[in-house]
Homo-oligomer: A and B are copies of this chain.
Amino acid sequence: MAGKVFFSVSMSLDGFVAPESVPGQDELFAPERQDEPAVRRWLAQWTELQQWVFPLRFFRENLKLGVGGEEGLDNDLARHTFERTGASVMGRRMFDLGERSWPEEAPFRTPVFVVTHGSREPWERPGGTTFHFVDDGVEHALDRAREAAGDRDVRIAGGGATILEYLNAGLVDEFSITLSPVLFGTGTRLFEGVDASRIALEPVRSRASARVTHLTYAVRPR
Protein backbone atom coordinates (compact mmCIF):
# COMPACT_ATOMS: atom_id res chain seq x y z
CA MET A 1 0.00 0.00 0.00
CA ALA A 2 1.33 3.41 -0.93
CA GLY A 3 2.08 5.86 1.85
CA LYS A 4 0.78 9.37 2.40
CA VAL A 5 2.18 12.65 1.18
CA PHE A 6 2.65 15.01 4.10
CA PHE A 7 4.56 17.99 5.39
CA SER A 8 5.60 18.81 8.92
CA VAL A 9 6.89 22.24 9.91
CA SER A 10 7.36 24.51 12.89
CA MET A 11 5.24 27.65 12.58
CA SER A 12 5.14 30.85 14.61
CA LEU A 13 1.79 31.73 16.15
CA ASP A 14 1.44 34.44 13.49
CA GLY A 15 1.92 31.95 10.68
CA PHE A 16 5.58 32.18 9.66
CA VAL A 17 7.85 29.23 8.91
CA ALA A 18 10.99 31.28 8.29
CA PRO A 19 12.23 34.75 9.22
CA GLU A 20 12.49 37.42 6.56
CA SER A 21 15.23 36.52 4.07
CA VAL A 22 18.57 38.27 4.36
CA PRO A 23 20.71 39.27 1.36
CA GLY A 24 22.88 36.29 0.41
CA GLN A 25 20.47 33.93 2.14
CA ASP A 26 22.34 30.81 0.91
CA GLU A 27 25.44 31.78 2.89
CA LEU A 28 23.53 32.50 6.06
CA PHE A 29 25.37 29.94 8.13
CA ALA A 30 28.87 30.94 6.95
CA PRO A 31 31.09 31.59 10.00
CA GLU A 32 32.30 34.97 8.72
CA ARG A 33 28.72 36.27 8.50
CA GLN A 34 27.63 35.54 12.06
CA ASP A 35 28.30 39.09 13.24
CA GLU A 36 26.08 40.81 10.68
CA PRO A 37 23.02 42.28 12.43
CA ALA A 38 20.56 40.94 9.82
CA VAL A 39 22.07 37.44 10.05
CA ARG A 40 21.99 37.51 13.84
CA ARG A 41 18.36 38.57 13.79
CA TRP A 42 17.48 35.78 11.32
CA LEU A 43 19.25 33.16 13.39
CA ALA A 44 17.75 34.40 16.65
CA GLN A 45 14.23 34.15 15.24
CA TRP A 46 14.85 30.81 13.57
CA THR A 47 16.34 29.43 16.78
CA GLU A 48 13.30 30.52 18.78
CA LEU A 49 10.98 28.87 16.27
CA GLN A 50 12.92 25.59 16.40
CA GLN A 51 13.72 25.81 20.13
CA TRP A 52 11.63 22.77 20.96
CA VAL A 53 13.77 20.52 18.73
CA PHE A 54 17.32 21.13 19.97
CA PRO A 55 17.14 19.44 23.39
CA LEU A 56 15.49 16.28 22.03
CA ARG A 57 17.21 12.92 22.29
CA PHE A 58 16.17 12.06 18.73
CA PHE A 59 17.60 15.31 17.34
CA ARG A 60 20.90 14.79 19.14
CA GLU A 61 21.15 11.19 17.96
CA ASN A 62 20.28 11.98 14.36
CA LEU A 63 22.81 14.80 14.14
CA LYS A 64 25.39 12.84 16.15
CA LEU A 65 25.62 15.57 18.76
CA GLY A 66 26.18 13.07 21.56
CA VAL A 67 24.15 10.88 23.85
CA GLY A 68 21.34 12.00 26.15
CA GLY A 69 18.60 14.49 25.53
CA GLU A 70 14.97 14.95 26.42
CA GLU A 71 12.38 12.24 25.96
CA GLY A 72 8.61 12.59 26.02
CA LEU A 73 5.96 13.78 23.59
CA ASP A 74 8.08 16.20 21.54
CA ASN A 75 10.78 13.57 21.14
CA ASP A 76 8.32 10.83 20.24
CA LEU A 77 6.70 12.95 17.56
CA ALA A 78 10.01 14.10 16.07
CA ARG A 79 11.15 10.48 15.87
CA HIS A 80 7.82 9.37 14.42
CA THR A 81 8.05 12.02 11.68
CA PHE A 82 11.51 10.77 10.80
CA GLU A 83 10.56 7.10 10.84
CA ARG A 84 7.44 7.42 8.71
CA THR A 85 9.42 9.18 5.98
CA GLY A 86 10.62 6.96 3.14
CA ALA A 87 11.65 9.82 0.86
CA SER A 88 11.57 13.62 0.87
CA VAL A 89 10.92 16.30 -1.69
CA MET A 90 12.64 19.66 -1.30
CA GLY A 91 12.74 22.98 -3.10
CA ARG A 92 15.96 24.34 -4.54
CA ARG A 93 16.33 27.21 -2.07
CA MET A 94 16.08 24.90 0.93
CA PHE A 95 18.67 22.63 -0.64
CA ASP A 96 21.04 25.52 -1.39
CA LEU A 97 20.92 26.69 2.23
CA GLY A 98 21.19 23.16 3.59
CA GLU A 99 24.05 22.15 1.33
CA ARG A 100 26.17 24.68 3.20
CA SER A 101 24.92 23.85 6.68
CA TRP A 102 23.99 20.18 7.03
CA PRO A 103 26.66 18.01 8.57
CA GLU A 104 28.40 15.56 6.23
CA GLU A 105 25.87 12.96 7.35
CA ALA A 106 22.82 14.91 6.19
CA PRO A 107 19.93 14.19 8.57
CA PHE A 108 17.46 12.69 6.07
CA ARG A 109 18.90 9.16 5.66
CA THR A 110 16.59 8.48 2.71
CA PRO A 111 16.43 9.60 -0.92
CA VAL A 112 15.68 13.32 -1.23
CA PHE A 113 14.30 14.71 -4.50
CA VAL A 114 15.26 18.33 -5.12
CA VAL A 115 12.94 20.26 -7.46
CA THR A 116 15.30 22.33 -9.57
CA HIS A 117 15.88 23.75 -13.04
CA GLY A 118 19.32 22.45 -13.95
CA SER A 119 20.58 18.91 -14.18
CA ARG A 120 23.06 17.54 -11.67
CA GLU A 121 24.28 14.06 -10.84
CA PRO A 122 22.86 12.48 -7.66
CA TRP A 123 24.81 13.51 -4.58
CA GLU A 124 25.29 10.65 -2.15
CA ARG A 125 26.14 11.45 1.44
CA PRO A 126 27.37 9.07 4.11
CA GLY A 127 24.61 7.86 6.42
CA GLY A 128 21.95 7.06 3.84
CA THR A 129 20.94 10.40 2.27
CA THR A 130 21.13 10.72 -1.51
CA PHE A 131 19.98 13.93 -3.19
CA HIS A 132 18.44 13.51 -6.63
CA PHE A 133 17.87 16.59 -8.78
CA VAL A 134 14.61 16.64 -10.71
CA ASP A 135 14.16 19.26 -13.40
CA ASP A 136 10.84 18.24 -14.94
CA GLY A 137 8.31 19.54 -12.43
CA VAL A 138 6.84 19.03 -9.00
CA GLU A 139 4.59 16.14 -10.00
CA HIS A 140 7.44 14.14 -11.43
CA ALA A 141 9.57 14.80 -8.34
CA LEU A 142 6.71 13.47 -6.23
CA ASP A 143 6.26 10.40 -8.43
CA ARG A 144 9.90 9.54 -7.99
CA ALA A 145 9.70 10.09 -4.24
CA ARG A 146 6.62 7.86 -3.95
CA GLU A 147 8.39 5.12 -5.79
CA ALA A 148 11.47 5.44 -3.60
CA ALA A 149 9.42 5.55 -0.38
CA GLY A 150 7.65 2.24 -0.99
CA ASP A 151 5.22 1.65 1.88
CA ARG A 152 6.45 4.61 3.84
CA ASP A 153 5.30 8.22 3.50
CA VAL A 154 6.69 11.04 1.38
CA ARG A 155 7.57 14.23 3.20
CA ILE A 156 7.47 17.56 1.43
CA ALA A 157 10.37 18.90 3.45
CA GLY A 158 10.19 22.56 2.42
CA GLY A 159 10.70 25.39 2.02
CA GLY A 160 7.46 27.27 2.38
CA ALA A 161 6.97 27.97 -1.34
CA THR A 162 7.47 24.33 -2.28
CA ILE A 163 5.05 23.14 0.39
CA LEU A 164 2.44 25.60 -0.84
CA GLU A 165 2.91 24.51 -4.43
CA TYR A 166 2.15 20.89 -3.49
CA LEU A 167 -0.73 21.90 -1.23
CA ASN A 168 -2.39 24.04 -3.90
CA ALA A 169 -1.91 21.28 -6.47
CA GLY A 170 -4.00 18.97 -4.26
CA LEU A 171 -1.06 16.62 -3.78
CA VAL A 172 -0.83 16.72 0.05
CA ASP A 173 -2.83 14.18 2.07
CA GLU A 174 -2.03 15.40 5.56
CA PHE A 175 0.15 17.88 7.39
CA SER A 176 1.49 18.61 10.84
CA ILE A 177 2.30 21.98 12.30
CA THR A 178 4.26 22.44 15.47
CA LEU A 179 3.03 25.78 16.76
CA SER A 180 5.80 27.64 18.61
CA PRO A 181 5.00 30.36 21.18
CA VAL A 182 6.67 33.13 19.20
CA LEU A 183 5.59 36.02 16.99
CA PHE A 184 7.71 36.96 13.95
CA GLY A 185 5.84 39.92 12.46
CA THR A 186 7.59 39.37 9.10
CA GLY A 187 9.06 36.48 7.14
CA THR A 188 7.81 33.59 5.03
CA ARG A 189 4.18 32.76 5.74
CA LEU A 190 3.31 29.09 5.38
CA PHE A 191 -0.10 29.74 3.82
CA GLU A 192 0.61 32.90 1.80
CA GLY A 193 -1.21 32.38 -1.50
CA VAL A 194 -3.08 29.26 -0.40
CA ASP A 195 -6.06 28.40 -2.58
CA ALA A 196 -8.47 28.51 0.35
CA SER A 197 -11.54 28.04 -1.82
CA ARG A 198 -10.42 24.53 -2.79
CA ILE A 199 -8.93 23.18 0.45
CA ALA A 200 -10.87 21.88 3.43
CA LEU A 201 -9.16 20.66 6.60
CA GLU A 202 -10.18 17.94 8.98
CA PRO A 203 -8.58 17.88 12.43
CA VAL A 204 -6.74 14.59 13.00
CA ARG A 205 -5.10 15.26 16.34
CA SER A 206 -3.78 18.05 18.56
CA ARG A 207 -1.31 17.37 21.34
CA ALA A 208 0.61 19.81 23.50
CA SER A 209 3.87 19.64 25.43
CA ALA A 210 5.06 22.31 27.84
CA ARG A 211 6.72 24.11 24.91
CA VAL A 212 4.60 23.70 21.79
CA THR A 213 1.36 22.38 20.31
CA HIS A 214 1.48 19.71 17.62
CA LEU A 215 -1.45 19.95 15.21
CA THR A 216 -2.28 17.45 12.46
CA TYR A 217 -4.90 17.96 9.73
CA ALA A 218 -6.08 15.86 6.81
CA VAL A 219 -6.53 17.79 3.56
CA ARG A 220 -9.77 17.36 1.65
CA PRO A 221 -11.01 18.94 -1.57
CA ARG A 222 -13.96 21.33 -1.21
Contacts and interface: CB of A to CB of B under 8 A. Distances in A.
Interface of A: 13-15, 177, 179, 181-186, 189-191, 193-197, 199-203, 205-208, 210-213, 215, 217
Of listed A177, A207, A208, A211, residue having the most chain B CB within 10 A: A208
A9 to B, nearest CB: 12
B183 A13 contact: no
Contacts of A213: 203, 206, 213, 215
How many copies of the shown chain assemble into the complex?
A: 2
B185 A13 contact: no
Contact of A183 (B182, B199, B210): B199
A208 B211 CA distance: 16
A206 B203 contact: no
Nearest to A217: B181
A166 to B, nearest CB: 15
Given A13-B217, A191-B13, A213-B215, A202 B185 contact: no
A49 to B, nearest CB: 12
A189 B193 CA distance: 14
A187 to B, nearest CB: 9
15 contacts: A13-B201, A15-B15, A15-B189, A15-B191, A179-B215, A181-B202, A181-B203, A183-B191, A183-B201, A185-B191, A185-B196, A203-B212, A206-B213, A213-B213, A213-B215
A203 B197 contact: no
A221 to B, nearest CB: 13
Nearest to A211: B203
A212 B213 CA distance: 12
A173 to B, nearest CB: 15
Contacts of A15: 14-15, 189, 191
Contacts of A203: 181, 208, 210-213
Contacts of A197: 185
A194 B201 contact: no
Contacts of A186: 196
